[in-house]
């Protein structure tokens, strides 16, 4: 990691914090309904919990220099498994580990394909996305399901001490754990090392393939966990669940300052970017901003954050353009 | 309040500025500060109180997705009902058929204390937890076009009893291919409630009425209410089933797209696509003879009826109990059925020369 990278990351997080404040001020100015604790926590729970868990999983994958776009499809697979387990009256303490294992295997499978054959993860997980989604459709049959027992729904629909949504607490705990592992352990250093320079990491004794496969497996587990929150929130399951959340997830990760090419990033930044996106979505929703405009805002944020993350200062962009222009005959 | 203080204040202001100490003195001296703050607070309270009493009822109209002419017409109908009954409509939705997006739209409506929500649901179950919340806080929820589970709404406005819809589609199928033949059913996804019910009614009617027994369903395909997907589904289905005679769809997007696929592959006259569609998208196919007849109800009246019923129920002018008869201008008297459903029930047939809402012929 270069010496300049660390302070820049700090500035980035500070910027995000300021943006969150501005977004909250904007939201409370545009809508008289924004400033209410219940409103804010409820809205954040709905917009950030499922996406946040998947985003954390994706952070692990992106930091090692790969990507997994099949995570929403793994979530849908998890939903359908929960549905079947609910139909079979499987107790929740057994259902959760079962689903987590299957989702972990789905992630592991992606990782093995990428590592064993040296395939580009974008292509592999694009295929996996279709495959897992199709599997969910096959397993789900024709109709949606809405008869989950109450204990299946608890995590996604209840509040801790009637104040904080349980799913937000889960996201916070997961972020703490991720922060600790990524920034405070040897395993975390290995993740970053693989993403920065896989060859150098291998030469210094890091088992790059194992680390990368682990990252994909973590992604799968997080998608499984998100699935448990999802069925609580929507109290229903369908094979095409979460088919439109990828933009939001990737934006949360990249806006959080994680380098899309791996090796750099910070869990705190991702948490902040989730808060920012959730606040923006809440504000725009309460102001009844048209859906197309909301998608435009999120998409623009993604592009801008990639631009900034790539050190794309305007002078740099101009210099590159000039070099290219000069090199033309 | 003392005149001297006001005089001092005015003089100070007149000088173009006032020192901090000057302000403090003037405010405290005149005893202004507390009443001002108190009054401001009271005013806000009074204004909010007044707002609750005097502002028109707020109706939120949530389409399956925005930008589609069907829901724009329903929106116009809703607007008209609001105008007649002194309510105010807000139209908000997602750009694509995105279930989580629609739920998040609803979640952002709940804190805005809606009086009524008029919703064309994308999923039978996913919006229900949010809709329950809205209802607990006093909103009346009317679904139209596509329903949610009963716990989530007060009333569902159905286009017509599913048997009537099925009859309209089968009549149109026979108007295209009088000798019947093999047919494919096109739905958006496997789980949209009214498409499941439509298909069940079609199967039941074919089994029951000998008139329609020449029509034989051989497959069900999903085109996601998307024109490109419908076009490619239609094209490949014609290759996979060379003997297919009819495409029947309840999707106003799939029907014209498959007509285009039929026309582009030169199958006009051999294969027909009919069912439900919007006049603006079907005129060319009626004119060219690729399609001879299709059916629909008026989306304008649909939105009008849903919004009209929502406002009447919210303001307590009609009960939502089964058996209640609601008199809706330009539509007529409609009765609420046992499961909280009322039917718009005015099917229209579109044929060449009768290709818009004004000239279409009502189904007998």
The percent of residues above 70 in pLDDT, for chain A, comes to 90
Chain A residues with CB under 8 Å of B149 CB are: 146
The beta strands (E) that lie in chain A are given as 159-160, 164-165
Q: How far is B91 from chain A, CA to nearest CA, in Å?
A: 8
What's the confidence (pLDDT) of residue B356?
Answer: 86
Q: Is B113 left (phi over 0), alpha (psi -120 to 50) or beta?
A: left
ipTM summary value: 0.80
* Cα nearest neighbour of B61 on chain A: A288
What is the Rg, in whole angstroms, of the alpha carbon atoms belonging to chain B?
Answer: 28
* Cα nearest neighbour of B63 on chain A: A291
Which of B129, B195, B200, B221 would best serve as a mutation to test chain A binding (most A beta carbons within 10 A)?
B129
What's the confidence (pLDDT) of residue A1?
Answer: 43
Distance CA B87, CA B79 (A): 9
Numbered residues of chain A with Cβ closer than 8 Å to any chain B Cβ = 31, 33-34, 36, 39, 42-43, 46-47, 137, 140-146, 157, 233-236, 238-245, 281-282, 285-286, 288, 290-292, 295
Pairing of strands A164-165, B57-62: unpaired
**C-beta of residue A186 within 8 angstroms of C-beta of residue A245:** no
Lowest mean pLDDT across A201-215, A278-292, B266-280: A278-292
Distance CA A127, CA B41 (A): 60
Helix (H, G, I), strand (E, B) or coil at B120: coil
**C-beta of residue B271 within 8 angstroms of C-beta of residue B245:** yes
The predicted-structure confidence for A40-61, as pLDDT tens digits, reads as follows: 998 999 889 999 999 999 999 9
Q: Do A238 and B123 touch (CB under 8 A)?
A: yes
Q: How far is A300 from chain B, CA to nearest CA, in Å?
A: 16
Facing residue for B112 by CB, picked from A143, A145, A286: A286
Comparison of pLDDT for A211 and B49, the residue scoring more: A211
Lowest mean pLDDT across A188-192, A320-324, B254-258, B352-356: A320-324
Distance CA A48, CA A63 (A): 21
> Nearest Cα to A32, choosing from A273, A272, A297, A288?
A288
> Nearest Cα to B306, choosing from B68, B102, B144?
B144
Chain B residues with CB under 8 Å of A46 CB are: 103-104, 107
Distance CA A182, CA A257 (A): 14
Average pLDDT over residues B227-241: 94
Which of B104, B105, B108 would best serve as a mutation to test chain A binding (most A beta carbons within 10 A)?
B108
Comparison of pLDDT for B227 and B47, the residue scoring more: B227
Lowest mean pLDDT across A199-208, A304-313, B108-117: A304-313
Question: Is the pLDDT confidence value at B34 over 50?
Answer: no
Q: How far is A49 from chain B, CA to nearest CA, in Å?
A: 13
> Nearest Cα to B342, choosing from B130, B164, B160?
B160
**C-beta of residue B118 within 8 angstroms of C-beta of residue B91:** no
Instruction: Categorize the per-residue pLDDT at A312 as very low, low, confident or very high, splitting at 50, 70 and 90.
Output: low
Looking at residue A96, the DSSP 8-state letter turns out to be H
> Nearest Cα to B115, choosing from B320, B317, B310?
B310
Give the neighbor-by-neighbor strand order of the sheet with B155-158: B87-91, B57-62, B116-119, B140-144, B155-158, B341-343
Average pLDDT over residues A239-262: 90
The first and second tokens of residue A231, run together, are 């069925």
Q: Is the pTM of the predicted complex or chain greater than 0.80?
A: no
Question: Is the pLDDT confidence value at A316 over 90?
Answer: no
Facing residue for A236 by CB, picked from B93, B111, B126: B126
Helix (H, G, I), strand (E, B) or coil at B289: coil
> Nearest Cα to B170, choosing from B349, B357, B358, B345?
B349
Question: Is the pLDDT confidence value at A5 over 70?
Answer: no
What's the confidence (pLDDT) of residue B4?
Answer: 45
**C-beta of residue B33 within 8 angstroms of C-beta of residue B24:** no
Q: Do B190 and A42 touch (CB under 8 A)?
A: no
| Cβ count within 10 A of residue B22 | 16
Facing residue for B191 by CB, picked from A238, A242, A295: A238
Q: Do A145 and B124 touch (CB under 8 A)?
A: no
Chain B residues with CB under 8 Å of A31 CB are: 112
Instruction: Categorize the per-residue pLDDT at A8 as very low, low, confident or very high, splitting at 50, 70 and 90.
Output: low
Angle at A37 between CA A31 and CA A39, to 5 degrees: 55
Q: How far is A260 from chain B, CA to nearest CA, in Å?
A: 26
Facing residue for A286 by CB, picked from B96, B108, B129: B108
Comparison of pLDDT for A329 and A18, the residue scoring more: A18
Chain B residues with CB under 8 Å of A297 CB are: none
A&B contacts, CB < 8 Å: 97
* Cα nearest neighbour of A248 on chain B: B101
The first and second tokens of residue B239, run together, are 């290759």
The first and second tokens of residue B249, run together, are 């769809």
Chain B residues with CB under 8 Å of A290 CB are: 66, 92, 95
Distance CA A195, CA A39 (A): 39
Name every residue whose Cβ is closer than 8 Å to that of residue B206 and which is 6 or more positions away in sequence. Answer: B170, B212, B213, B215, B216, B217
Q: Do A43 and B105 touch (CB under 8 A)?
A: no
Average pLDDT over residues A314-321: 58
Listed by number, the residues of chain B in 56-85 with a beta carbon closer than 8 Å to a beta carbon of chain A are: 65-67
Name every residue whose Cβ is closer than 8 Å to that of residue B187 and which is 6 or more positions away in sequence. Answer: B195, B196, B199, B220, B221, B222, B223, B249, B250, B251
Question: Is the pLDDT confidence value at B28 over 70?
Answer: no
The maximal CA–CA distance of chain A, rounded, in angstroms, is 72
**C-beta of residue A206 within 8 angstroms of C-beta of residue A194:** yes
* Cα nearest neighbour of B100 on chain A: A242
Average pLDDT over residues B151-159: 94
**C-beta of residue B127 within 8 angstroms of C-beta of residue B102:** yes
Q: Do B112 and A33 touch (CB under 8 A)?
A: yes
Helix (H, G, I), strand (E, B) or coil at B31: coil
**C-beta of residue B119 within 8 angstroms of C-beta of residue B127:** yes
Question: Is the pLDDT confidence value at B351 over 80?
Answer: yes
Quick one: A74 exposed, middle or buried, by C-beta within 10 A (0-12, 13-18, 19+)? Answer: buried
What's the confidence (pLDDT) of residue B314?
Answer: 95
Comparison of pLDDT for B304 and A10, the residue scoring more: B304
Average pLDDT over residues B149-163: 92
* Cα nearest neighbour of B187 on chain A: A142
Average pLDDT over residues A1-10: 51
The percent of residues above 90 in pLDDT, for chain A, comes to 65
The beta strands (E) that lie in chain B are given as 57-62, 87-91, 116-119, 140-144, 155-158, 181-187, 215-222, 244-249, 272-275, 294-296, 325-328, 332-335, 341-343, 348-350, 361-362
What's the confidence (pLDDT) of residue B118?
Answer: 97
Q: Do B104 and A281 touch (CB under 8 A)?
A: yes
- A226, A289, A293, B120, B203 from B82: Cα distances, Å: 41, 21, 26, 18, 39
Q: Do B124 and A142 touch (CB under 8 A)?
A: no
What is the Rg, in whole angstroms, of the alpha carbon atoms belonging to chain A?
Answer: 20
Question: Is the pLDDT confidence value at A127 over 60?
Answer: yes
Q: Do B190 and A146 touch (CB under 8 A)?
A: no
What's the confidence (pLDDT) of residue A322?
Answer: 63
Average pLDDT over residues B143-160: 93
- CB-based contact, B152 to chain A, within 8 Å: no
Output phi, psi for B328, to 5 deg. Answer: -110, 120
The first and second tokens of residue B279, run together, are 């006049």
Output phi, psi for B249, to 5 deg. Answer: -140, 145
The average confidence (pLDDT) of chain A is 89
Question: Is the pLDDT confidence value at B106 over 70?
Answer: yes
Q: How far is A134 from chain B, CA to nearest CA, in Å?
A: 13
Facing residue for A47 by CB, picked from B104, B113, B190: B104
What's the confidence (pLDDT) of residue A327?
Answer: 59
What's the confidence (pLDDT) of residue B15?
Answer: 39
Listed by number, the residues of chain B in 168-227 with a beta carbon closer than 8 Å to a beta carbon of chain A are: 189-191, 196
Q: How far is A158 from chain B, CA to nearest CA, in Å?
A: 12
Q: Do B66 and A46 touch (CB under 8 A)?
A: no
Question: Is the pLDDT confidence value at B199 over 50?
Answer: yes
Q: How far is A52 from chain B, CA to nearest CA, in Å?
A: 15
The percent of residues above 90 in pLDDT, for chain B, comes to 66
The predicted-structure confidence for A20-39, as pLDDT tens digits, reads as follows: 999 999 999 988 889 888 88
Chain A residues with CB under 8 Å of B112 CB are: 31, 33, 286
Distance CA B49, CA B10 (A): 34
């Amino acid at each position: 990691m270069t010496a300049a990278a660390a302070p820049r990351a700090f500035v980035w997080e500070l910027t995000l914090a300021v943006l969150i404040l501005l977004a909250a001020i904007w939201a409370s100015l545009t809508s008289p309904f924004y400033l209410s604790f219940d409103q804010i926590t409820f809205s954040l729970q709905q917009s950030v919990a499922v996406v946040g868990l998947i985003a954390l999983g994706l952070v692990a994958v992106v930091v090692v220099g790969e990507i997994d776009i099949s995570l929403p499809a793994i979530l849908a697979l998890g939903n359908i498994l929960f549905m079947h387990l609910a139909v079979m009256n499987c107790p929740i303490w057994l259902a959760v580990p079962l689903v987590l294992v299957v989702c972990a295997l789905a992630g592991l499978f992606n990782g093995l394909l990428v590592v064993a054959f040296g395939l580009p993860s974008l292509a592999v997980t694009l295929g996996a996305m279709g495959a897992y989604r199709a599997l969910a459709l096959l397993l789900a049959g024709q109709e949606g399901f809405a008869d989950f027992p109450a204990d299946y729904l608890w995590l996604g629909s209840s509040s801790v001490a009637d104040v904080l949504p349980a799913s937000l607490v889960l996201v916070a705990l997961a972020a703490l754990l991720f922060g600790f592992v990524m920034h405070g352990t040897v395993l975390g250093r290995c993740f970053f090392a693989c993403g920065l320079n896989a060859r150098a990491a291998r030469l210094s004794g890091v088992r790059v393939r194992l680390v990368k496969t682990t990252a994909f497996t973590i992604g799968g587990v997080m998608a499984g966990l998100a699935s448990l929150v999802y069925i609580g929130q929507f109290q229903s399951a369908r094979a095409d669940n979460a088919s439109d959340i990828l933009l939001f997830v990737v934006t949360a990760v990249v806006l959080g300052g994680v380098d899309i090419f791996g090796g750099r990033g910070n869990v705190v930044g991702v948490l902040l970017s989730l808060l920012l996106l959730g606040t923006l979505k809440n504000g725009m929703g309460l102001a009844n901003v048209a859906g197309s405009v909301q998608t435009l805002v999120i998409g623009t944020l993604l592009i801008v954050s990639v631009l900034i993350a790539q050190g794309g200062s305007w002078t740099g962009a101009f210099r590159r353009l000039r070099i290219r222009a000069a090199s033309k005959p | 309040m003392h005149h001297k203080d006001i005089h001092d204040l005015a003089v100070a202001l007149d000088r173009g500025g006032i020192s901090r100490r000057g302000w403090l003195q003037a405010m405290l001296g005149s005893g202004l500060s507390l009443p001002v703050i108190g009054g401001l607070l009271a005013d806000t309270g009074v204004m909010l109180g007044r707002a609750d009493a005097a502002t028109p009822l707020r109706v939120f109209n949530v389409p399956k997705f925005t930008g589609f002419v069907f829901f724009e017409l329903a929106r116009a109908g809703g607007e008209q009902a609001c105008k007649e009954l002194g309510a105010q409509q807000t139209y908000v939705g997602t750009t694509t058929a995105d279930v989580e997006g629609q739920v998040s739209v609803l979640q952002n409506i709940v804190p805005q204390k809606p009086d009524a929500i008029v919703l064309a649901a994308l999923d039978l179950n996913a919006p229900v937890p949010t809709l329950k919340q809205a209802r607990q806080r006093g909103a009346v929820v009317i679904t139209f076009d596509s329903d949610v589970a009963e716990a989530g709404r007060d009333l569902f406005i159905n286009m017509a009893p599913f048997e009537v819809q099925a009859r309209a589609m089968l009549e149109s199928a026979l108007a295209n291919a009088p000798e019947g033949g093999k047919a494919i059913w096109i739905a958006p996804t496997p789980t949209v409630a009214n498409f499941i019910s439509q298909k069940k009614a079609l199967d039941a009617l074919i089994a029951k009425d000998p008139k329609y027994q020449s029509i034989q369903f051989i497959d069900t395909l999903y085109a996601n209410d998307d024109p490109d997907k419908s076009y490619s589904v239609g094209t490949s289905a014609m290759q996979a089933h060379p003997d297919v005679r009819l495409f029947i769809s309840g999707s106003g997007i799939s029907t014209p797209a498959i007509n285009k696929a039929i026309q582009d592959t030169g199958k006009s006259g051999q294969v027909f696509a009919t069912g439900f569609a919007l006049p603006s998208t079907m005129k060319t196919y009626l004119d060219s003879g690729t399609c001879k007849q299709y059916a629909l109800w008026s989306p304008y009246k649909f939105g009008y009826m849903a919004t009209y019923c929502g406002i009447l129920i919210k303001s307590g002018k009609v009960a939502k109990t089964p058996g209640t008869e609601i008199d809706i201008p330009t539509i007529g008297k409609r009765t609420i059925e046992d499961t909280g459903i009322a039917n718009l029930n005015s099917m229209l047939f579109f044929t060449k020369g009768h290709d818009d809402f004004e000239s279409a012929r009502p189904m007998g």
